[in-house]
Amino acid sequence: MARHSSSALCLQGCLEHYLQVGHCVIKVARDRLKTQIQDTGRSELFPYRSTDIHSVGSH
């Protein structure tokens, strides 16, 4: 009984840990992408779309 409960507790802890890590990784990646687009103006991911926005805004 004790062995089963401890392994279940460990599994729950691992799940919570991976959920936290995954959320943190997604948040960091999203923030990095946002700052990259803001810094360069045209990112490698959206080259045409950002240049269109800049050309429309300048005229």
List the domain boundaries for the chain. Answer: 2-58
Answer for the pair 43, 37: CB distance below 8 angstroms, yes or no.
Answer: yes
Segment 9-54, tens digit of pLDDT: 888 888 899 889 888 888 999 998 888 777 665 545 555 555 555 5
Looking at residue 33, what is its pLDDT? Answer: 85
Answer for the pair 42, 51: CB distance below 8 angstroms, yes or no.
Answer: yes
pTM over 0.85: no
Looking at residue 46, what is its pLDDT? Answer: 57
